[in-house]
Amino acid sequence: MSFLSMITPLYKRRYPVRGALRRIVRALKIGRYEERLRIGAVPRPQYGFCLYSAAMLARRLGYQRISAIEFGVAGGRGLLALERHADEISRCLGVEIEIYGFDTGKGLPPPQDYRDMPYIWKQGFFQMNREELQSRLGRAKLIIGDVAATVPEFVERHKPPPIGTAMIDLDYYSATASALRIFEAADEYLLPRAYCYFDDVVAHDPLSAFNDFTGERLAIAKFNQRNTDRQLAVPYLSDFIDEWIQQIWVLHVFHHPRYADFVRDYEVTQLPLER
C-alpha cells in the first residue's frame, strides 16, 4: 500500500491537517501523479483533472494526440501549470498533448454591455507580459488577438488534434460566447466528450453576484440553445471535496462517430442474485 493510499481517508476528513498534507505531498511530489491529482496536491488541480480525464478518454478510444486550450492566459501561470500537467499526463498515459493559449495580450477589452458585468470587470484588467511569458513556455502556443477573430480561423490555420479540454477564464459574456464557437468545429477536431473548466461561474465574493443571465453562465446557456447535437452539461461527479468541481462542465458531441464507443475499463455482464 502506498503512502498516499494510507493518508487518503484522513485527508478526506475536514481537518486542518488536510491542507498541510496537501502542501507536503505537492512540494515533495510524493507518490504517482494520479494519486497526487486525486487529493489535489498538484498546481491547479482543476486543470489536471480536466486534462487527465481527456487524455484517459483519448487513450480508451485509441487517439494518440489531443489538444488542450486555455482561454484567458493573462499573466500565464495557468498556461505554465497546464504544461506541467501535460508533461506528467503524457508520461502516464502515452497520449501526446498540444496546448494553445488564447488571449488579447493587452488585458480585458472594453465591456460590450451589461452582460459582460462591468460592475466587476474593467478594461485593461489581467494584462500579459508577452515576451517574458513566451520565454518560459515550452510546448504551449500563444494565439494573440480578440477571440471573436482568432477562434473562427483556429482550426483551419493550426489543424489541431482533437480538442479534449478547455480552461475558460475570459470573464465576459461576449468573449466566452465567442470562445465557445470552437466547440462547433467538425467532429474530427473534437473528442466525443471534452472536459471544461469555467473560472467565473461561481463566486466567493457576494458583490460579484454571478447569475444565469450574464457572464459565463449566460454564454453556456446560449451555446446550448444554439446547438442541438452538442451540449455543455454538468457531470454530477461525486466523492470530491474541492469546490472547483462545481466549475466543471463536459461538452457532449452526441452525433460524434465515436460518442457511443464503450470506454469503461471493465464490463458489467451479470449481477448474480445474493444467496
Q: Which pLDDT tens digit goes with each residue over 30-87?
A: 888 888 888 888 889 999 999 999 999 999 999 999 999 999 999 999 999 999 999 9
What is the reported pTM? 0.89
CA 235 to chain centre: 13
Q: Would you state the torsion angle of the CA atoms of residues 57, 62, 64, 66, taken in this order, to the nearest 10 degrees?
A: -40
pLDDT at 213 over 80: yes
The edge-to-edge listing of strands for the beta sheet with 248-253 is 141-144, 96-103, 65-71, 163-168, 190-198, 248-253, 230-233
Q: Which pLDDT tens digit goes with each residue over 127-156?
A: 999 999 999 999 999 999 999 999 999 999
Report the C-alpha gap between 91 and 99 in whole angstroms.
Answer: 16
Report the C-alpha gap between 36 and 244 in whole angstroms.
Answer: 16
Kindly give the residue spans of alpha helices, DSSP state H, lying in the chain.
3-12, 17-28, 33-38, 45-61, 77-93, 130-136, 147-158, 173-179, 215-226
Report the C-alpha gap between 60 and 48 in whole angstroms.
Answer: 18
Domains of the chain: 1-42 (no CATH), 43-253 (3.40.50.150)
Average pLDDT of 262-274?
72
pLDDT for res 235: 95
Q: Which pLDDT tens digit goes with each residue over 77-124?
A: 999 999 999 999 999 999 999 999 999 999 999 999 999 999 999 999
The mean predicted confidence, pLDDT, of the chain is 91
CB 126 within 8 A of CB 157: no
pLDDT for res 149: 97
DSSP structure class, residue 250: E
What angle, rounded to 10 degrees, do the helices at 17-28 and 3-12 form? 150
